[in-house]
């Protein structure tokens, strides 16, 4: 069923035809992270797609995937473009390498899952938390509820993980 | 540098030097054109045809590109009384110019037409903001965008930034090295009477400007402007009858991609850009290598895009782009100046056409700076690159334009003086 929702004042819209995204976000709404696993080659993929980027098979199954990984890169936005985010600067956009399937099918590849840095309860992180995170920071997935059938996967600092002594941050604070 | 005598000109690279850019045209680079994109396109195309010494009736092909923010070829041709045998308006931005030159060559090789105008008309400041603010920023988020825009990851700067940051992480590239691109392009622009920003800036000015999204300061980002720009492509045979010294097309590569071009950051290293793949097509097609190139037009949507492309097309070793763009090489008077017009950072934002326009003028040895015009009607270039002076590169024979759409997609073209 189509979903129309409001997140931070920003309209989100998933129509009836977009069955891959509806399935993906339905799992997120249950606070479970699922990705498509290719029935032919067995590789997971992100974000949802119609066919497998490695073997072109159209057949896949949704399987649970552990939402843990490390920050591969990021940007820290100080000048928001979307009005919805202007109240929340500075905010972090994180590109996170999942531990699952890292370095496969080639050494440079990983499931790189986007998300903002948020508090453990899914709220965009305050400035003092933003300053702690950089490339290498260990993060775990949490969900921000938006509407029935829709929650956004997000990232928060993994309190239980061994963190790097000093994650890489842009040199000019 | 003239082409080496042993340059490979054998088949199947028979298209080398067979086509030429014979006309270039532009409108004023401005913020607040007060004109429609149809008017801007019409003026730019008219100016390019006149620059070639051709008549509108000599043109029978047209190509344009846009992102739902411009006018179609049919209107421009209609306004100028051009009857087209071929046209196509394609979707896209900053990797289009060089790709469309390749399509123009293909259309002429196929016998579909004989002279093609390529134009881009945009009110990138006063209508559809290229930086992404305005109508684009408030549009509903759906489909693939749910995995990006929903996180406030929307504008070009925001979306490219993880690649830039990762380059700094992987290779130790420093902010002041990259800021040199803006400082140097601003020096070039100070010798370009058409440039929107003509003021010379320093590395310190760039680093002192406010952060937009790390690692981009305000002055690491290009200017948004309103303008029309156009070029005329035709056969080298015909070029000899045109007004200016011919500028020949050696080779092109168009919209070449990294793997996973939909979500390129899924495939690493993300600090490597499409030029890594495009170079394997460009240089063999052109029959030259980076060492043969006198001037570059490496797309400067951001200071970082210039650096990453110069590196991945092989102008320096991987990881040494920071040094390459800050050691004087890309400055007027250096070994291989980049964007001598000031580029998108300073002259104006055109999605790439103006960087080709500039290199065509450089290869004609007739760049439009402030040098005096002699009795023969030609500029008497002084090669004094101080502020307000010359920007002609001495003995300029071979150029490379490196077009950028995003880290995963690029186009490029090598031209030479005929």
Please report, for the domain that includes residue A142, its CATH number. 2.40.50.840
Is the residue at A163 inside a domain? no
Chain segment B41-96, per-residue pLDDT in tens = 999 999 999 999 999 999 999 999 999 999 999 999 999 999 999 999 999 999 99
pLDDT at B3: 62
Beta bridge partners of B404: B410
- Of the pLDDT bands very low, low, confident and very high (cuts 50, 70, 90), residue B11 is very low
d(CA B233, CA B235): 7
Note the pTM of the prediction, 2 decimals: 0.96
Tell me which of B138, B151, B221, B224 to substitute to probe the interface with A (most A C-beta atoms closer than 10 Å): B151
DSSP character string of B133-175 = -THHHHSPEEGGGGGTGGGT--SHHHHHHHHHHHHHHHH---H
Of A110, A152, A170, the CB nearest to B214: A170
What domain range is A22 assigned to? 16-157
What ipTM did this prediction achieve? Answer: 0.97
Q: Do A77 and B158 touch (CB under 8 A)?
A: yes
Q: Do A47 and B151 touch (CB under 8 A)?
A: no
Q: Is 90 exceeded by the pLDDT of residue B315?
A: yes
Q: Is 50 exceeded by the pLDDT of residue B292?
A: yes
pLDDT at B307: 98
Count up the domains in chain A and report the number. Answer: 1
pLDDT at B5: 65
Who has greater pLDDT, B262 or B74? Answer: B74
- Name the minimum distance, in Å, from the CA of A27 to any CA of chain B: 15
pLDDT at A1: 79
Q: Average pLDDT for residues A33-40, to the nearest whole number?
A: 98
Q: Average pLDDT for residues B25-50, to the nearest whole number?
A: 98
3-state helix, strand, coil in chain A (%, to 5): 10, 40, 50
Can you list the positions of beta strands (E) in B124-270? 141-142, 211-213, 216-217, 226-235, 247-257
Q: Average pLDDT for residues B135-145, to the nearest whole number?
A: 89
Catalytically active residues of B, by annotation: 299, 349
Strand order in the sheet with A60-64: A44-45, A34-38, A60-64
Chain segment B222-239, per-residue pLDDT in tens = 999 999 999 999 999 999
Who has greater pLDDT, B11 or A60? Answer: A60
Is the residue at A172 inside a domain? no
Tokens representing B37 are 């994109």
Chain segment A65-124, per-residue pLDDT in tens = 999 999 999 999 999 999 999 999 999 999 999 999 999 999 999 999 999 999 999 999
Is the residue at A170 inside a domain? no
- Percentage of chain A beyond pLDDT 90 is 97
Is the residue at A50 inside a domain? yes
CB-CB neighbors (< 8 A) of A95 in chain B: 162, 265, 270
Query: CB distance from A147 to chain B under 8 Å?
Result: no
pLDDT at B8: 59
Tokens representing A66 are 């552990």
pLDDT at B263: 87
Nearest Cα residue in chain B from A153:
B147
Q: Average pLDDT for residues B305-316, to the nearest whole number?
A: 98
The one-character DSSP state at A130 is H
d(CA A41, CA B68): 39
pLDDT at B376: 86
pLDDT at B133: 86
pLDDT at B4: 63
If you average pLDDT over every residue of chain A, what do you get?
96
CB-CB neighbors (< 8 A) of A22 in chain B: none
- Phi and psi dihedrals of A155, rounded to 5? -125, 140
Is the residue at A106 inside a domain? yes
- Phi and psi dihedrals of B209, rounded to 5? -75, 160
If you average pLDDT over every residue of chain B, what do you get?
95
Query: CB distance from A15 to chain B under 8 Å?
Result: yes
Q: Average pLDDT for residues B190-216, to the nearest whole number?
A: 98
Which CATH code is given to the segment(s) B19-127+223-417? Answer: 3.40.47.10
Of A21, A79, A152, the CB nearest to B143: A21
Chain segment B153-192, per-residue pLDDT in tens = 999 999 999 999 999 999 999 999 999 999 999 999 999 9
Nearest Cα residue in chain B from A118:
B151
Q: Say if strands A112-116 and B141-142 run parallel, antiparallel, or are unpaired.
A: unpaired
Is the residue at A10 inside a domain? no
The one-character DSSP state at A104 is -
Boundaries of every domain in chain B: 19-127+223-417
- Phi and psi dihedrals of B359, rounded to 5? -70, -30
pLDDT at B134: 85
pLDDT at B236: 96
């Amino acid at each position: 069923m189509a979903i129309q929702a409001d997140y931070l004042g920003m309209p989100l819209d998933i129509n009836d035809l977009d069955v891959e995204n509806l399935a993906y976000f339905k799992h997120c709404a249950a606070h479970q992270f699922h990705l498509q696993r290719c029935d032919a080659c067995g590789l997971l993929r992100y974000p949802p797609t119609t066919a497998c980027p490695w073997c072109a098979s159209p057949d896949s199954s949704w399987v649970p995937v552990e939402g843990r990984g490390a920050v591969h890169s990021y940007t820290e936005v100080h000048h928001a473009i979307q009005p919805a985010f202007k109240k929340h600067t500075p905010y972090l956009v994180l590109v996170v390498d999942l531990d699952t399937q890292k370095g496969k099918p080639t050494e440079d590849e990983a499931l790189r899952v986007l998300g903002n840095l948020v508090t453990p309860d899914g709220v965009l992180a305050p400035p003092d938390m933003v300053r702690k995170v950089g490339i290498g920071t260990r993060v775990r997935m949490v969900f921000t509820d938006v509407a029935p059938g829709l929650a956004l996967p997000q990232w928060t600092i993994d309190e239980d993980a061994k963190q790097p002594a000093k994650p890489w941050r842009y040199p000019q604070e | 540098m003239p082409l080496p005598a042993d340059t490979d000109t054998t088949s199947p690279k028979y298209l080398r030097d067979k086509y030429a850019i014979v006309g270039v045209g532009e409108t004023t680079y401005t913020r607040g054109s007060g004109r429609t994109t149809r008017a801007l396109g019409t003026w730019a195309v008219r100016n390019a045809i006149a620059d070639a010494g051709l008549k509108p009736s000599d043109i029978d092909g047209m190509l344009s590109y846009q992102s739902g923010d411009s006018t179609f070829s049919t209107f421009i041709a209609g306004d100028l009384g051009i009857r087209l045998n071929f046209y196509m308006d394609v979707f896209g931005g900053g990797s289009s110019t060089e790709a469309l030159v390749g399509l123009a060559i293909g259309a002429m090789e196929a016998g579909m037409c004989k002279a093609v105008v390529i134009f881009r008309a945009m009110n990138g400041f006063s209508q559809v903001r290229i930086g992404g603010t305005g109508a684009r920023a408030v549009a509903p988020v759906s489909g693939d965008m749910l995995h990006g825009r929903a996180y406030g990851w929307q504008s070009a700067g925001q979306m490219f930034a993880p690649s830039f940051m990762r380059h700094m992480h992987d290779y130790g590239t420093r902010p002041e090295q990259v800021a040199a691109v803006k400082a140097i392009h601003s020096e070039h622009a100070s010798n370009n009477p058409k440039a929107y920003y003509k003021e010379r800036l320093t590395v310190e000015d760039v680093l002192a400007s406010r952060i937009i999204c790390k690692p981009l300061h305000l002055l690491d980002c290009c200017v948004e402007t309103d303008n029309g720009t156009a070029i005329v492509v035709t056969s080298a045979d015909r070029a000899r009858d045109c007004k200016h010294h011919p500028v020949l097309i050696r080779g092109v590569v168009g919209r070449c991609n990294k793997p996973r071009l939909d979500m390129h950051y899924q495939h690493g290293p993300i600090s490597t850009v499409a030029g890594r793949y495009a170079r394997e097509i460009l240089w063999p097609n052109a029959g030259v290598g980076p060492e043969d190139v006198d001037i570059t037009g490496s797309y400067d949507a951001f200071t970082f895009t210039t650096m990453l492309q110069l590196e991945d097309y092989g102008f320096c070793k991987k990881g040494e782009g920071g040094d390459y763009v800050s050691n004087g090489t890309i400055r007027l008077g250096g070994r291989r100046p980049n964007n001598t017009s000031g580029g998108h950072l300073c002259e104006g934002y055109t999605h790439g056409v103006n960087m080709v326009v500039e290199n065509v003028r450089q290869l004609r040895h007739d760049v439009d700076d402030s040098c005096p015009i002699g009795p023969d009607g030609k500029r008497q270039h002084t090669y004094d690159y101080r502020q307000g002076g010359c920007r002609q590169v001495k003995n300029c024979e071979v150029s490379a334009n490196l077009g950028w759409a995003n880290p995963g997609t690029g186009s490029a073209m090598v031209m030479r003086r005929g």
